[in-house]
Structure 1
Amino acid sequence: MIQPVEKAIDSTFEFSTPVTANSPALQALFDFIALGAIERERDRILPYDVIDLIRRSKLGALRIPVAEGGGGANVRELFEVVIRLGDADPNVAHILRNHFFVTEQILRSARSDRYRRWLKAVVDGAIIGLAATELEAKRAGSGEVVSTKLTPDGDGYRLNGIKYYSTGSLFADLIYVRLLTPDGIVAIAIIPTNREGITLVDDWDGFGQRLTGSGTTTFTNVRVEADEVIKETDPDADNVPYKVVAHLILTAVNAGIIRSVLRDAKNLVLKRPRTFYHSVSEQASDDPLLQQTVGQLSANAFAAEAIVLAAADALDRLNLALSQGEEAKNAAALNASLLAAKAKLIVDDLTLRSATLLFEVGGASSTKTVYNLDRHWRNARTLSSHNPSHFKARAIGDYEINGTALPIGGFF
């Protein structure tokens, strides 16, 4: 029987400093998260306690420099960690997607007082969610804002509107909101989720990634301070044209799912009590066809991880280019976006095929609900449906043939 989460947190984990990418404490944390992942997913148990544990570990500060209280990881190390967390529980990894995306934007921005304040909150354990999507917008991912608007209120504002697909916000301490200023300009605000007038609803009913809190967020006359609003023209704003991190994280979570599929496949073969009468081997573990299938899954996991990390390396190069002038920055950002898009096309396909291959080693009994092995395909299919691959492939092809610039909205 799995130990209750509260007891495990109190008796097992002590985090005196933020976890680092290669620390034993981080691996122990991921092992614990994996322990209850199947039951949480099957029984729809929202991982509040797991996220509280992540707060205590300061995992969210992984990319913040050590001198500022964080883990000091580079982008490649961040994505190695996301793959491992996606292996342990893709729902939890997805919850943190927008946190790492927003934190990366803050790190790339000038260290103004408000950015230092937000970084300090992350170092202290705060998790950041996102509220960007409006169903009234005619083109998904365009960044269009229709109804979420600020109105003047003394030296600040009041915010009203409704957002959907607010992944991670149900568990977050701060929320990154895309909105319209009183003069009709699209801007961002970062505000506490416990502020009066914010309502977070767990109404995501997709067949996969069901525990990510990707539901509706309503803002009703919410107070917003002037220095919580970020405009593109602000001197401390992140002005990198491509927002690659958010989407590459989804690809990294899918790479993690393949690792989990591989582990389940090996367990199925090793624990399989019988095989088919026309198999060439008495034991499943000696069956060359099952060995071949597991070998293919192992290769898929390796390839997916290598592809994601190659795209992550491009993001590290982008960070180096930020100080080398506008032309170098834009070229590096374009390359990072291009590699992330290519990575998605290949890794999504590998993940979906791997989730199906899993059942080739398990037989009909592996489809029992108690095993919940269909979660891999459901979760991978849901993750892959963000910015569908055919649109990505078309944009890549148009760039390769005609030199057409890649889209800059929708986390491309």
Structure 2
Amino acid sequence: MNEIVASPAPDSAGPLSPSSPALDALFGVIGEGAANREFERILPHEPLALIRKAKLGALRLPVAAGGAGASFRDLYGVVLRLAAADANVAHILRNHFTFVERYARLPSDATQEKWRRAVAAGAIVGLANTETDAKVVGGSPFSTVLVPDGDGFRISGRKYYSTGTLFSDLVLVRVATPEGKSASLILPVQRAGIDLVDDWDGIGQRLTGSGTTVFNNVRVEPEEVVPDGQNVGYGTAYSSTLPQLYLTTVNAGILRAVLADATAVLKRRTHTFFFAPAEVPTEDPILQQTIGEIASNAFAAETLVLATADALDVADRLRVSGASPAAVNEAAHDAAVRAARSKVVIDDLVLRSASQLFDVGGASAAHRNLNLDRHWRNARTLASHNPRAYKARLLGRLEIDGTPLPPSSFF
């Protein structure tokens, strides 16, 4: 791909509306091949091409800028549906939507306006943040450092957990400045010296491209550097709530898929155990109860996600309207609290439900070719991000002595 930063403005059609039937049709197509793609390890380049064409990544951009003007509730509702279709594809877009919120939706200069036009035209943005030799996961200081080079810079380094970058047009790279401060770079993935390595070997989320990104003396232009600052990118308090809730939303979408598969498995069953209370599996009250529990878990998970999205919308409206920093911070903290509470609950619900699926299907549901274990593996992998125990502990401290959640990192 060419350096898509300078992409032309989008066509007049714009992205699909969150309520568009065409969006349901798109997710239907993506969902049809999801199980087989993961079973055969076929990277989802085709689904991502469809997503680019639909300009799904522009959902949160203003309508006047070629976006759909979607609220956070709209966005997370869409993510729920996409994750139910294919949890890998949904996860790939997590870093994209975070980038849009931090650097493109409401641009502060000509370069950010250019990034917004790229997103409106269909560009997808990945992330290169984590360094495996760091003592703190996802934290700074970074060993990838900007080195002055004439009127610009160069970088060399290795990043891991680069979710989505393998399928992206641009990549956001976290680095240290020559002064030792943290900054973000937004670079075209095709730039000379960038190597994308598909070496992610996790038990779940196998097709997200969450492997290594190598930077070998890569040129960086001055306008591609955004130093962290107060209310700038990563320097904005509770700006990580969006990607945190995103992971939990993908798990809620997996729970929706578990419900669909569990119901389908039960309807296909033609035999049951000799001690079952009913001869027909769909009439078995024990299996009916299990389906009902999974359905209730899915409802609870989706309700928690959307309630948290509503809180993000409140904080966003205050921020855009110029409300006082204290009011914005209070609303943003409320959203962070809801996101943390949601993760603590939803991670448990989805893992339990993904196991109950096999209670419904019996041993025949464990055949590898059905690939039903992908739901548990994917959910377990997602839940391992920023473990719930740490969130629960800080939520408990909030209740006990009123200590606010940390304003950055994983909240």
Quickly name the TM-score band, shorter chain normalised.
Answer: over 0.9
Query: What does 1:181-200 correspond to in 2, within 5 Å?
Result: 181-200=177-196
- How far apart, in 1, do the equivalents of 2:185 and 2:244 lie? 21
Cα distance between partner residues in 1 of 2:277 and 2:335: 48
Asked if 1:360 corresponds to 2:359, the answer is yes
1:18 to 2:32 alignment: no
Query: CA–CA distance in 2 between the matches of 1:225 and 1:87?
Result: 40
Q: How many residues align?
A: 398
Match of 1:53? 50
Question: Once structures 1 and 2 are overlaid, which stretch shifts more, 122-131 or 109-118?
Answer: 109-118
Q: Confirm or deny: 8 A CA contact 1:108 1:238 kept in the other structure.
A: no
Q: Distance in 1 between matches of 2:288 and 2:177?
A: 59
Quick check: 1:346 aligned with 2:342? Answer: no
What is the deviation of 1:407?
A: 2.2
TM-aligned CA distance change 1:347 to 1:247, over 3 Å: same
CA distance in 2, matches of 1:235, 1:361: 49
Aligned with 1:135 (options 132, 135, 140): 132
In the alignment, is the contact (CA less than 8 A) between 1:297 and 1:354 conserved in 2? yes
Q: Decide which of 154, 159, 180 is 2:155's aligned counterpart.
A: 159
| Cα separation, 2, equivalents of 1:72 and 1:409 | 26
Equivalent residue, structure 2, for 1:96: 93
1:166-205 alpha-carbon deviations (Å, 9 max, x no partner): 0000000010111011111111111111100001101111
Correspondence 1:118-133 to 2 at 5 A: 118-133=115-130
CA contact (8 A) 2:60 2:105 kept: no
2:305 aligned residue (291, 308, 333): 308
The offset of 1:79, in angstroms, is 0.2
Give yes or no for contact 2:230–2:236 (8 Å, CA) kept in 1: no
Shift of 1:146: 2.9
Q: Structure 1: which 5+ runs fail to align?
A: 1-14
- Is the contact made by 2:104 and 2:115 (CA closer than 8 Å) also made in structure 1? no
1:193-212 matches, within 5 Å, as 193-212=189-208
Question: What is the aligned partner in structure 2 of residue 232 from structure 1?
Answer: 228
The answer (yes or no) to whether the contact 1:150–1:181 under 8 Å persists in 2 is: yes
The structure 2 residue matched to 1:84, chosen from 81, 88, 112, is: 81
8 Å CA contact 1:257, 1:376 repeated in 2:
yes
Query: For each residue in 1:334-387, what CA deviation from the matched residue of structure 2 results, as whole angstroms up to 9, or x when unmatched?
Result: 111111000000011000000001011101011000100100100000000000
Residues 184/109 of structure 1: CA separation in 2 closer, same or farther (3 Å cut): farther
Cα distance in 1 between the residues matched to 2:246 and 2:232: 25
Written as runs of structure 1 = structure 2, the 5 A alignment for 1:57-76 is 57-76=54-73
TM-score normalized by the length of structure 2: 0.94
3-state secondary structure, aligned to 1:32:
helix
Contact 2:107 2:116 in 1 (8 A): no
- Taking structure 1 as reference, are residues 235 and 369 closer, same or farther at Cα in structure 2, changes over 3 Å only? closer
Is the 2:52–2:123 Cα contact (8 Å) retained in structure 1?
yes
Q: Are the aligned partners of 1:129 and 1:168 in contact in 2 as well (CA < 8 Å)? A: yes
Range that drifts further, 279-288 or 238-247: 238-247
What whole-Å deviation, never above 9, does each CA across 1:71-107 have from its counterpart, x for those lacking one? 1110000000000011000000000000011111125
Identify the range of structure 1 (320-329 vs 230-239) with the bigger mean alpha-carbon deviation. 230-239
Query: What amino acid maps onto 2:169 in structure 1?
Result: D
* Range with bigger deviation, 90-99 or 233-242: 233-242
User: Within 2, Cα distance between the matches of 1:169 and 1:88?
Assistant: 21
Matched residue type, 2:46: D
The whole-number CA distance in structure 1 between the counterparts of 2:221 and 2:311 is 36
Is 1:30 the equivalent of 2:27?
yes
**Identity value in percent:** 54
Partner Cα distance (1:256, 1:351) in 2: 9
CA offsets 1:265-318 (integer angstroms, 9 cap, x no match): 111111101111111212111111111111111111110000011111111011
Equivalent in the alignment of 1:7 = none
2-side partners of 1:281 and 1:391: how far apart? Answer: 44
Shift of residue 159, structure 1, vs aligned partner: 1.1
- Aligned equivalent of 1:6: none
Q: 1:381–1:265: structure 2 CA closer, same or farther, 3 Å change rule?
A: same
Alignment of 1:356-395 (within 5 A): 356-395=355-394
Distance (whole Å) between structure 2 residues aligned to residue 42 and residue 205 of structure 1: 14
CA apart distance, 1:17: 3.4
Q: Partners in 1 of 2:388 and 2:256 — Cα distance?
A: 22
Equivalent residues of 2:142, 2:174 under 8 A apart: no
What RMSD in Å do the two structures reach over aligned CA positions? 1.6
Instruction: Work out whether residues 186 and 224 of structure 2, in 8 Å CA contact, stay in contact via their aligned partners in 1.
Output: yes
Does the 8 A contact of 1:132 with 1:163 survive in 2? yes
**Aligned-partner Cα distance in 2 for 1:349–1:315:** 23
Q: How far off its partner does 1:235 sit?
A: 8.3
Distance 1:116 1:386 in 2: 32
Match of 1:5 in 2: none
Question: What amino acid is the match of 1:42?
Answer: F
Contact 1:280–1:287 (8 Å) recurs in 2: yes
Tell me the secondary structure at the aligned position of residue 53 of structure 1: helix
Give the superposition deviation at 1:404: 2.0
Query: Matched residues in 1 for 2:151 and 2:378: separation?
Result: 45
TM-score between both structures, scaled by the size of structure 1: 0.94
What SS does the aligned partner of 2:184 have?
strand
**CA distance 1:254–1:200, change in 2 (3 Å):** same
